[in-house]
Amino acid sequence: MSADVLEKRYRMLLRAYPADYRRERADELIDTLIGDEPTTRRWPSVREAASLIRGALQVHGGSTAPRPTAVLLWQGIHLGAMAVLALGALIGLDDLIEAFQFGGLSDPLTVLRNQGVHEIMVGAALVALVAGRTRTAAALVVSAAVVPTVISPYLFLNGLPQWWAPVVAAPLVVAGLRRPADVPPTPRANAVLVTAGILALHLISADGLRMVDTGARIGAAALVAVGLAAFLWVATADQRLLIAVAPTLLLGTLHQLGDTGSAGELLRRPDALPSLVVAVLLAVGAVVSTRLRQRTRA
């Protein structure tokens, strides 16, 4: 009975793997994990659970694909476009709500012209990309980079970060049109989860690091450290995240470059140029290491 319960719980963990991988390898993995010896265990160990989850992340990242480097690059580009559009839409929605809260209701048409058109077009491009309509998404994201500014230059003149979202995403979406036929598209549910993880990384508040109060600074530092550690644990397994996060950091850096004339202030911002440089180096390292492993396996 214990073995049956243990197997059931192992199979629950194996649901983190793609369905086709489970069909091919699940029984083999279960046999390896449980072994031939009788056992009274009813739960997988923490180490086994972590290893299985990490293994699932690696499979989602293309480690078992015939061309893992191509999967890493092309799916990473797709995920990066989704993440930067989602971040731009989130920032834009927050600013739109704030505009209505602080006087916008007296002139809602102006608010919608200044910010609403951009938000709608960025949201439409994101929905098309999630739905796998890449050609439609490409047309929408290019339009979102141009049309709202023609209607109202408010976002551009104020250097708001959401203005940069379609500008950064457009070349990524257009490049995705050239995805090789032997590289599968990113599964929709997985793409949404990855995008949510990247957004969660950006929602970690680092403002407390600048506060005078020691307790607040320690708490903020602990929150940032835990968040970064969790993200890196996932991203070093599913290395597509290392590709996908770079455009979102570029979005913040472009905003800060336009928002401040001081390079010193730019370098002191936690999500500014240093973070972007680290992200680019990690992305390059992921591509190189995957390429080396592919050559070794061949």
DSSP for 212-276, written as a single string: S-HHHHHHHHHHHHHHHHHHHHHHTTSTHHHHHHHHHHHHHHHHHHHH-S-HHHHHHSTTSHHHH
| In the predicted structure, residue 205 carries a pLDDT above the cut 70 | no
Q: What is the pLDDT of residues 64-120, one digit of tens each?
A: 888 999 999 999 999 999 999 999 999 999 888 888 888 777 788 888 999 999 999
pLDDT value at 210 more than 70: no
Helix (H, G, I), strand (E, B) or coil at 85: helix
Residue matched to tokens 């109060």: 213
**Per-residue pLDDT tens over the stretch 3-12:** 678 888 888 9
Which letter, b or e, does each residue of 281-292 get, where b requires 16 or more Cβ atoms within 10 Å of its Cβ? ebbeebbeebee
Which whole number is the average pLDDT over 19-47? 81
Domain edges within the chain: 2-60, 68-297
Number of other residues whose CB lies within 10 A of the CB of residue 137: 28
Region 266-280 average pLDDT: 63
Helix axes of 134-151 and 117-130: crossing angle, nearest 10 degrees: 170
Pair 174, 142: CB distance under 8 Å: yes
| Cα dihedral: 132, 135, 139, 141 (round 10) | 40
User: How many angstroms separate the CA atoms of 267 and 249, rounded?
Assistant: 13
Confidence at residue 291, expressed as pLDDT on a 0 to 100 scale: 84
Q: Which residue has the higher pLDDT, 138 or 21?
A: 138
Q: What is the pLDDT of residue 25?
A: 87
Q: What percent of the chain has pLDDT over 90?
A: 43
Whether the predicted pLDDT of 264 surpasses 70? no
Task: Judge contact between 247 and 260, C-beta under 8 A.
Answer: no
* Mean pLDDT across 158-167: 88
Q: Which tokens sit at 252?
A: 């913040």
R_g over Cα of the chain: 22
Give tens-digit pLDDT for 279-295. 888 888 888 888 888 77
Asked whether residue 36 carries a pLDDT value surpassing 80, the answer given is no
**Angle separating helix axes 240-259 and 188-203, nearest 10 degrees:** 40
Helices (H), the chain: 2-14, 19-34, 46-60, 68-101, 108-111, 117-130, 134-151, 154-157, 161-176, 188-203, 214-235, 240-259, 263-268, 273-297
Q: Does 255 or 200 have the greater pLDDT score?
A: 200
Q: Read off the pLDDT of residues 214-246 as tens digits, 9 standing for 90 and up.
A: 667 777 778 878 888 999 999 999 999 999 999
In angstroms, the CA 3 to CA 7 distance is 6
| Structural contact between residues 182 and 66, judged by C-beta atoms closer than 8 angstroms | yes
For the segment 41-70, what is each residue's pLDDT rounded down to a tens digit? Answer: 778 888 989 999 999 999 999 988 889 999
Q: For residue 298, what pLDDT is reported?
A: 59
Mean of the per-residue pLDDT values of the chain: 84
pLDDT at 44: 85
Please tell me the predicted confidence (pLDDT) of residue 140. Answer: 96
Residue 267 banded pLDDT, cuts 50, 70, 90: very low
Rounded to an integer, the average pLDDT of 120-149 is 95
Q: Which residue has the higher pLDDT, 148 or 37?
A: 148
